[in-house]
């Protein structure tokens, strides 16, 4: 099978379109308060046989051909992408957090696996055809797969939701995360057993050997491997170029572990996942290394993989409403009831217990990866695959809303969401602080539809108490205004600086004028905290002040979010 110009052009174009589409829809999903993976999968469904293939089969076939070297290469790329994605997923797992939480997390995770596992196992064993077993699959094998697929909570989705709701560091949040970690690890080990039970294809057909080798590998990786990595990381970082040495070391060894478990007949993702757990646990792993790997994988490889899912399956033709509803029901009832009751028993109040139940109900990438593997291995049919993907999307998408409603929590407020081009002044001509504040107050009041005179009085009264210059080149005059329904921020830039008599003596280059609803202290404090976090160094205001238009300013402000 030889490559030619046309093949290479197709491969590059397909990769580019898939990546751009996935990133675009991923961004839109995030704007709507959802996980990016929802958008990425949707992009694949749009570009695959389901939508583009239905509209223009010729174009779809030309961009994503099903014969020749291109699909062979796309499959290999998907394999490497998912292997690296599991490396990152593993790195996010903090085993020590589990020990710290002790009893509560352990109980929650045991029940959180056992209940949905049982809820999935018996129906699947009794009615395999109804639940989408492929004709060739043995009932026990199918039941084990189905039960596992019901049991794994999506750790990254859960973490993201808790972060957005400012619950990540709360007692509830920490217990949830620790339970999800144990859940994740044990779910994978069960799934690996299921995979080795299939054992028809691998080079090691002896079932007992495969299972034993896998368990030994997992145990060694989390003990000896973890220790060796912890000892060798400082050596690698001390004696190789930075950060190239440690990047090559980490990615190379992850691929090697993946090759080993794939060769065992289990699956590559298991090897890189365990390696990631062992690596991520070391305090010697530097933040810069972690974030370089995470950025590249989460923003390039993961979107490619999740979008490619939609390329292989026709989601319209294989949509089976009854099956979708059944899978959703089994998954949700087992998980929510089991975890909710366990939480109640552990001493959480009713609202919190409901939140725990629905929190653990978030599924995501893992179910889809399991589904992909099972589909290729011939255990499940395409109808069940589609139902599993939809189940993962629906539970992920609903978790945030439900926790929000039950606990009456709100998403973290960010100033970027409240600045507008209409209330932006690129170059303040006023050199007198109070005049500049008045000008911006008028703009904000106008946009908010409140009385400018009232707003002025409130802002200036507050300013008279103490200057709103916070240092680092930033001033933040503000007031709470009755009758306002949401926060309004007017921005004024002064590249040459205005003397606000700031505590650090620095001239002010960015003035953020903030009007917030009088009856909503939370938004007010949230915005103040966000401003403080973003303008933590003097460079931020300096850079922002150099913006020549609103888009540039917003870009600087957005990037000041840098790490989190």
Q: Footprint of a second copy on residues 56-95 (CB under 8 A)?
A: 69, 72-73, 75-77, 79-80, 83
Q: Footprint of a second copy on residues 465-524 (CB under 8 A)?
A: none
Residues 6+ apart with CB under 8 A from 5: none
In which element (H, E) is residue 495 found?
strand 488-498
Question: Judged by CB under 8 A, does residue 206 bind a second copy?
Answer: no
Question: Judged by CB under 8 A, does residue 411 bind a second copy?
Answer: no
Nearer of residues 10 and 186 to a second copy, judged by Cβ: 10
Q: Footprint of a second copy on residues 26-55 (CB under 8 A)?
A: 26-27, 30, 36
Q: Footprint of a second copy on residues 176-205 (CB under 8 A)?
A: 201-203
CA 103 vs. chain centroid, Å, equals 27
Q: Footprint of a second copy on residues 249-288 (CB under 8 A)?
A: 249, 251-253, 255-256, 258-260, 262-263, 265, 268, 284, 286, 288
SS in 3 state form for 295-314?
HHHHHHHHHHHHHHHHHHCC
Residues 6+ apart with CB under 8 A from 442: 452, 455, 456
Question: Shortest gap between Cβ of 91 and a second copy (angstroms)?
Answer: 16
β pairing state of 478-481 and 469-471 = unpaired
Q: Which of 286, 288, 293, 297 is nearest to 233 (CA)?
A: 286
Kindly tell me which residue out of 11, 190, 373, 491 binds a second copy, with binding defined by CB under 8 A: 11
Question: Judged by CB under 8 A, does residue 462 bind a second copy?
Answer: no
Question: Shortest gap between Cβ of 249 and a second copy (angstroms)?
Answer: 7
Question: Judged by CB under 8 A, does residue 102 bind a second copy?
Answer: no
Nearer of residues 223 and 291 to a second copy, judged by Cβ: 291
Question: Judged by CB under 8 A, does residue 6 bind a second copy?
Answer: yes
Q: Is 5 labeled as catalytic in the residue annotation?
A: no
Q: How far apart are CA 526 and CA 521, in angstroms?
A: 8
Q: How far apart are CA 516 and CA 523, in angstroms?
A: 7
279: helix, strand or coil: helix
Nearer of residues 77 and 176 to a second copy, judged by Cβ: 77
User: Are 469 and 502 in contact, with CB atoms under 8 Å apart?
Assistant: yes
Q: How far apart are CA 277 and CA 289, in angstroms?
A: 15
Nearer of residues 15 and 467 to a second copy, judged by Cβ: 15
Nearer of residues 286 and 410 to a second copy, judged by Cβ: 286
226-239 and 244-264 are packed helices; what angle lies between their axes, rounded to 10 degrees? Answer: 150
Question: Shortest gap between Cβ of 196 and a second copy (angstroms)?
Answer: 11
Q: How far is CA 283 from CA 11, 99, 271, in A?
A: 40, 16, 21
Question: Judged by CB under 8 A, does residue 299 bind a second copy?
Answer: yes
Q: Footprint of a second copy on residues 518-557 (CB under 8 A)?
A: 549, 551-555, 557
Q: Footprint of a second copy on residues 220-249 (CB under 8 A)?
A: 233-245, 247-249
Note the residue count of the chain. 564
Question: Shortest gap between Cβ of 262 and a second copy (angstroms)?
Answer: 4
Instruction: Please count the residues of this chain forming the interface with a second copy, following the rule CB under 8 A.
Output: 83
Question: Shortest gap between Cβ of 452 and a second copy (angstroms)?
Answer: 28
Question: Shortest gap between Cβ of 342 and a second copy (angstroms)?
Answer: 34
**Residue showing tokens 């949700």:** 332
CA triplet 383, 314, 75: central angle to 5 degrees?
A: 100
Nearer of residues 344 and 411 to a second copy, judged by Cβ: 411
Nearer of residues 236 and 397 to a second copy, judged by Cβ: 236
Which residue in 5, 267, 287, 478 is the catalytic one? 478
Question: Shortest gap between Cβ of 555 and a second copy (angstroms)?
Answer: 4
Q: How far is CA 549 from CA 315, 511, 557, in A?
A: 44, 15, 13
Q: Point out the residues that are catalytic.
A: 478
């Amino acid at each position: 099978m030889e490559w030619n110009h046309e093949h290479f052009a197709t491969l590059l174009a397909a990769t580019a379109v898939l990546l751009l589409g996935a990133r675009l829809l991923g961004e839109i999903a995030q704007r709507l308060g959802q996980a990016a993976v929802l958008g990425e999968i949707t992009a694949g469904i749009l570009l695959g046989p389901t939508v583009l293939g239905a509209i223009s089969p010729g174009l779809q076939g030309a961009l994503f051909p099903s014969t020749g070297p291109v699909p062979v290469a796309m499959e290999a790329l998907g394999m490497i992408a998912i292997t690296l994605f599991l490396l990152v997923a593993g790195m996010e797992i903090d085993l020590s957090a589990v020990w710290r939480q002790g009893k509560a997390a352990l109980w929650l995770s045991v029940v959180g696996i056992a209940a949905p596992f049982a809820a999935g196992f018996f129906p699947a064993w009794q009615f395999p055809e109804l639940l989408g077993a492929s004709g060739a699959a043995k009932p026990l094998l199918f039941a084990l797969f189905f039960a596992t697929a019901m049991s794994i909570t999506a750790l990254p989705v859960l973490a993201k939701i808790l972060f957005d709701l400012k619950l990540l560091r709360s007692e509830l949040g920490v217990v949830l995360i620790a339970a999800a970690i144990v859940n994740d690890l044990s779910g994978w080990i069960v799934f690996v057993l299921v995979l080795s039970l299939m054992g028809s294809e691998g080079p090691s057909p002896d079932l007992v050997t495969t299972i034993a080798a896998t368990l030994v590998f997992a145990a060694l990786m989390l003990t000896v491997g973890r220790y060796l990595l912890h000892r060798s990381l400082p050596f690698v970082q001390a004696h190789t170029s930075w950060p190239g040495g440690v990047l090559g070391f980490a990615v190379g060894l992850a691929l090697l572990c993946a090759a080993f478990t794939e060769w065992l007949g289990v699956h590559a993702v298991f090897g890189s996942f365990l390696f990631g757990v062992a690596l991520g646990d070391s305090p010697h792993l530097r933040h810069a290394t972690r974030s370089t790997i995470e950025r590249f994988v989460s923003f390039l490889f993961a979107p490619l993989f999740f979008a490619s899912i939609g390329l292989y399956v026709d989601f319209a033709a294989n949509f089976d409403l009854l099956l979708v509803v059944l899978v959703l029901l089994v998954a949700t009832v087992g998980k929510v009831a089991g975890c909710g009751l366990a939480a109640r028993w552990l001493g959480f109040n009713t609202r919190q217990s409901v939140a725990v139940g629905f929190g653990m109900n978030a599924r995501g990438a893992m179910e889809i990866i399991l589904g992909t593997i099972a589909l290729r291995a011939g255990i499940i049919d395409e109808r069940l695959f589609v139902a599993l993907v939809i189940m993962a999307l629906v539970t992920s998408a609903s978790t945030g809303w439900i926790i929000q409603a039950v606990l009456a929590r709100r998403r973290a407020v960010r100033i970027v969401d409240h600045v507008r081009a209409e209330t932006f002044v690129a170059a303040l001509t006023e050199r007198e602080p109070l005049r500049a504040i008045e000008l911006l107050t008028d703009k904000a009041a106008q946009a908010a539809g409140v009385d400018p005179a009232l707003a002025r009085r409130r802002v200036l009264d507050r300013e008279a108490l103490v200057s709103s210059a916070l240092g680092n080149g930033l001033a933040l005059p503000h007031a709470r205004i009755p009758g306002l329904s949401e926060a309004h921020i007017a921005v004024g830039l002064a590249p040459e600086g205005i003397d606000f008599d700031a505590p650090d003596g620095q001239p002010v280059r960015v003035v953020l004028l903030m009007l917030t609803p009088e009856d909503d202290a939370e938004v007010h404090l949230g915005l103040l905290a966000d401003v403080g976090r973003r303008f933590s160094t003097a460079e931020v205001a300096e850079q922002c002040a150099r913006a020549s238009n609103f888009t540039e300013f917003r870009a600087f402000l957005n990037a000041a979010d840098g790490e989190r």
